[in-house]
Amino acid sequence: MDFTFNEDQLLFQEGVRDFLTNEVTPEKIRELWETDSGRSPALWGQLTELGLTGLTVPEAFGGMGMNELDFVLLAQECGYVALPEPLVQTVLVAVPTLVNSSNEDLKAKWLPQVAEGAATIAVGLEQNLLVEDAHIADLLLMEKNGNLYAVEQADVTLEYNQSVDPSRKLYQVSFDESRAMVVAEGDEAQALVNGALNRGALGCAAQALGLTQRMIDISVQYTSERTQFGVAIGTFQAVKHRMANVAVPLEYAKATVAQAAYAIANNVSSVDKNVSHAKSMACAASLLGAKNSIQVHGAMGYTWEVNLHIYMKRAWALDKTWGDQAFHKGRVAEAIFADDALLGAGNTFVR
């Protein structure tokens, strides 16, 4: 099992990082909070021009035919800037769910539109009842009573739920199901739902890595400029330790996220455990990053005016999305305490 990243993947990440840090600034995020949709069609158009909306769409439908391991570094960069647009949900969660279904008509209708940036798809599961960006999604893939349905925007009723993160638009979705809406039933539906849950959790974990790094960077800059007793407060050992204690779990979490992406992309048998391990570790690192960043910012750390809270609140929200800590730690515990569990160093990378 080799889940290291090659030169092309790292160069692509670097290019996307440059674009996002220039275009998705804290000032532009605040501007979007004042709009009705909270989303920017112009920014979505730019993401499409970069080829990001079609990255996991098969080449036969106009996309690039890449996989989760190719996208996970980009999801990390989406987290670094707290991207408001539904790129991770559409590319990492919705598209592979549709691709893995046996419904060829749905694929032929929607996948080319996603690749062209003309449509977005949202996913709602019973594990993840509040659907993000349901208000702008052209198609919604919804789990209901064990089945998976494809519902177009005109056929759903939405009820807005406020999020702690002003950039996240969450909705309760209701609809009257019909046979024409069925994507999959029975075992196929459950396989698609479990795959969507794992990809959603992976997306949270990858974004949490980026968020943690952003909070470290913001805090290092602030403590390098803020002085006390004539010197920068970042020179004080007690302040240094706060952020060093975040950097260590962040580095440990990176390997688990890469392993989870590999496990999904290659249908590894331990994929549920790998994904839950990654989400637990990455979100724990981001929560610690939020806590310690507030501390080193002193009384300003929690205020609306400081940019830190944009990334801090996204970290809080992602920790509770696509399964909370209890759910994912439960899946890890179930795997390692199973009678036939393969444990020990020799089984770390068993497929």
Please give the model's pTM, rounded to 2 decimal places.
Answer: 0.96
Domain membership of residue 163 (yes or no) is no
Compute the mean pLDDT over every residue in the chain, rounded to the nearest whole number: 95
Q: Which residue, 92, 91, 311, is CA-closest to 199?
A: 92
- Residue written as tokens 């806590």? 291
Number of domains within the chain? 1
pLDDT at 344 over 90: no
Torsion sign, CA atoms 182, 184, 187, 190? negative
Q: Residue 137 domain-assigned? A: no
Instruction: Give the pLDDT confidence score for residue 72 in this predicted structure.
Output: 97
pLDDT of residue 38: 96
Residue 203 lies in a domain: yes
Residue 94 maps to a domain: no
Residue 145, C-beta contacts closer than 8 angstroms, at least 6 positions apart? 177
Inter-CA distances, 147 with 102, 142, 168, 186, Å: 14, 8, 27, 7
CA terminus-to-terminus distance, the chain? 8
Structure tokens at 52: 């990001």
Residue 300 lies inside a defined structural domain of this protein: yes
Average pLDDT of the residues in 63-90: 97
Domain membership of residue 288 (yes or no) is: yes
Question: Are 255 and 284 within 8 A, CB to CB?
Answer: no
Average pLDDT (277-296) is 97
User: What CATH number is attached to the domain comprising 287?
Assistant: 1.20.140.10
**Pick from 27-31, 51-55, 176-180: least confident:** 176-180
Q: Which domain holds residue 317?
A: 199-337
Is 328 contained in some domain? yes
Residue 349 has pLDDT above 70, yes or no: no
Query: Does residue 314 carry a pLDDT above 80?
Result: yes
127 — pLDDT class (breaks 50, 70, 90): confident
pLDDT, residue 64, reads 96
Would you place residue 83 in the very low, low, confident or very high pLDDT band (cuts 50, 70, 90)?
Answer: very high
- Mean pLDDT calculated for residue range 146-173: 96
pLDDT at 302 over 90: no
Q: Count of CB atoms within 10 A of residue 91's CB? A: 30
What confidence category does residue 203 fall into, taking pLDDT thresholds of 50, 70 and 90? Answer: very high
Contact of 120 with 114, CB cutoff 8 Å: yes
Asked if residue 256 belongs to a domain, the reply is yes
Burial 306-330 (b: 16+ CB within 10 A, else e): bbbbbbbbbbbbbbbbbbeeebbbe
What is the Rg, in whole angstroms, of the alpha carbon atoms belonging to the chain? Answer: 20
**Residue 343 predicted with pLDDT over 90:** no
Residue 346 has pLDDT above 90, yes or no: no
Three-state SS at 159? strand
Distances, alpha carbon 230 to alpha carbons 225, 244, 295, in Å: 11, 23, 20
Which letter does DSSP use for residue 128 in this model?
B
φ and ψ of 161, to 5 deg: -125, 120
For 28, the 3-state DSSP assignment is helix
pLDDT > 70? residue 351: no
Per residue in 12-42, pLDDT (tens digit) is 999 999 999 999 999 999 999 999 999 999 9
